[in-house]
């Protein structure tokens, strides 16, 4: 896990994102426990409260559940939710692309053409 100390993204967010990716990609499986809060803080050389906040963030997203006295375990990821997550990610990126297109004065038709070309390329 790479943690950037001087990035604009808060450290807790960086940790949450990293675990989020591992969970959504299936690297961390259902029922598996995340590292202990104080253990991860020690290994990543960050404060306990930052790690705690990252785990709370994951809990808010419904990715993990806290079990008193045992830690946080990975929830079952239903495929519908997984799809939803990826869909949202796709929309975010498209939004960015649209902003760039607008700045560059690219017409909607040109934009759609470009997307079609990119899809062809992927095949």
Partner 1 sequence: MERTFDSVAKLHNIEKSYTNFTLSLPELCIPKGFSTALIGENGAGKTTLLKILTGLNDEYSGDIEYFEGLREKHLIIDRIGYTSSTNYFNPSWKLENISEFSPYIYDSFNSDTFYKILNETDMINVKQSISQMSDGMKMKTMIAATLARKTEFLIMDEPASPLDPIMREKLCDLIRAYIRQGNGSNSVLFSTHNISDMENVTDYAIFMADGMVVEQGFVEDLKEKYYLIKGEPSHAKILKEFLIGFTESPYNCQGLCLIDDLDKLAGMDVTVETPTLNQISVGIMKGGAK
Question: Which position among 10, 26, 62, 108 is part of the footprint of partner 1 (CB under 8 A)?
Answer: 10
Chain residues 48-67 in contact with partner 1, contact rule CB under 8 A: 48-50, 52-53
- Hunting for tokens 């559940």 — which residue is that? 65
Q: Which is nearer to partner 1, 3 or 81 (CB)?
A: 3
Cα dihedral value 50, 52, 58, 64, nearest 10: 150
Among residues 42 and 93, whose Cβ is nearest to partner 1?
42
- Pick 43 or 84: Cβ nearer partner 1: 43
Asked if 12 and 54 touch (Cβ cutoff 8 Å), the reply is yes
Report the alpha-carbon distance of residue 37 to residue 123 in Å, rounded: 43
Q: Which of 74, 92, 95, 93 is nearest to 21 (CA)?
A: 74
Site string for partner 1, 11-50 (x = CB under 8 A): -x-----------------------x-xx-xx--xxxxxx
Nearer to partner 1, 5 or 79 (CB): 5
Q: What is the DSSP letter of 59?
A: H
Size of the site for partner 1 (CB under 8 A): 16
From 63, 67, 2, 54, select the one nearest 28 (Cα to Cα): 63
Q: Residues in the site for partner 1, rule: CB under 8 A?
A: 5, 10, 12, 36, 38-39, 41-42, 45-50, 52-53
């Amino acid at each position: 896990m790479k943690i950037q100390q001087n990035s604009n993204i808060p450290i807790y967010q960086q940790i949450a994102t990293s675990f989020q990716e591992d969970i959504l990609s299936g690297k961390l499986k259902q029922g598996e426990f995340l590292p202990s809060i104080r253990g991860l803080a020690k290994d990543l050389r960050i404060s306990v409260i930052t790690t705690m906040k990252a785990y709370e963030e994951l809990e808010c997203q419904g990715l993990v559940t806290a079990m008193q006295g045992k830690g946080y375990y990975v929830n079952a990821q239903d495929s519908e939710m997984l799809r939803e997550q990826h869909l949202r990610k796709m929309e975010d990126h498209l939004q960015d692309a649209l902003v760039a297109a607008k700045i560059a004065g690219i017409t909607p038709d040109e934009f759609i053409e470009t997307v079609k070309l990119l899809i062809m390329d992927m095949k």
